[in-house]
């Protein structure tokens, strides 16, 4: 039996690598063919996890409210300890559902930049999803802001996008490293190139 040549072996390895890369792209939500057909995903971002601090604080309050009656009943030896235990169990279930809803809302709220548009998906709970889109050819200006001590320390901020149609601004809030996403949008739109060309044209005319 003849051994395969080096060229055939390298071609087979390249084919296996392409197949594995294709499977990885299909598993990645950024490469969903139904949502981003004939588009190249340039960048994807989520809100900085600091937005979950409020659910965390409220969850700690739920723990205190659920645990305090049970601890009081056990410490004092009251007869309604069983009711307090049921109250604590209900509080734990409410806490788990509340934290799960908050995590789902954060995880599935994504900002996706493709070579044709910006897609902002905002998830609230399990069954409430809002999707906003903005075509790259409708973008006039992109700015970002890092405001406050927490934002400066943890490197998160807001991005504001002005449109050519004047239909209102397009805001992306509490993004980690907003300058990177803003630069990616500017590069995808070619705004820097258009600004450079306009500046060079004005200097030439002067």
SS3 state of residue 5: coil
Mean pLDDT of 40-69: 91
Supply 157's token pair.
């901020």
Model-wide pTM > 0.85: no
The span from the CA of 38 to the CA of 59, in Å, is 43
In a 10 Å sphere around its CB, with 0-12 CB exposed, 13-18 middle and 19+ buried, how is residue 15 labelled?
exposed
Q: What is the pLDDT of residues 137-147, one digit of tens each?
A: 888 889 999 99
65 in a domain, yes or no? yes
Q: How many domains does the chain fold into?
A: 1
CATH of the domain at 164: 2.30.29.30
In a 10 Å sphere around its CB, with 0-12 CB exposed, 13-18 middle and 19+ buried, how is residue 111 labelled?
buried
21 in a domain, yes or no? no
DSSP label at residue 116:
S
Q: What is the pLDDT of residues 140-179, one digit of tens each?
A: 889 999 999 989 999 999 999 988 877 667 888 999 999 9
Name the nearest CA neighbour of 31 among 46, 22, 129, 106.
22
Better pLDDT: 31 or 48: 48
Domain ranges, residue 91: 39-200
Q: What is the pLDDT of residues 96-140, one digit of tens each?
A: 999 999 999 999 999 999 988 999 999 998 888 999 888 888 888
Enclosing H/E stretch for 157: strand 156-163
The confidence band for 57, taking pLDDT boundaries of 50, 70 and 90, is very high
């Amino acid at each position: 039996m003849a051994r395969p040549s080096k060229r055939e072996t390298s071609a087979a390895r390249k084919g296996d690598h392409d197949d594995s890369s294709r499977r990885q792209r299909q598993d990645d939500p950024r490469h969903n063919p139904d949502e981003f057909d004939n588009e190249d995903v340039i960048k994807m971002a989520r809100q900085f996890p600091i937005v979950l601090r409020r659910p965390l604080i409220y969850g700690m309050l739920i723990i205190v409210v659920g645990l305090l009656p049970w601890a009081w009943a056990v410490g004092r030896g009251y007869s309604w300890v069983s009711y307090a235990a049921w109250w604590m169990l209900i509080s734990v279930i409410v806490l788990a559902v509340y934290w799960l809803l908050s995590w789902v809302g954060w995880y599935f709220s994504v900002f996706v930049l493709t070579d044709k548009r910006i897609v902002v998906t905002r998830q609230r709970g399990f069954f409430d999803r809002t999707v906003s889109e903005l075509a790259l050819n409708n973008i006039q200006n992109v700015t970002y802001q890092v405001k406050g001590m927490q934002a400066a320390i943890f490197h998160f901020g807001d991005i504001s996008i002005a449109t050519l149609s004047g239909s209102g601004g397009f805001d992306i809030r509490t993004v980690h490293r907003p300058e990177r996403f803003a630069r990616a949008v500017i590069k995808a739109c070619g705004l820097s190139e258009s600004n450079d060309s306009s500046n060079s044209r004005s200097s030439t005319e002067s």
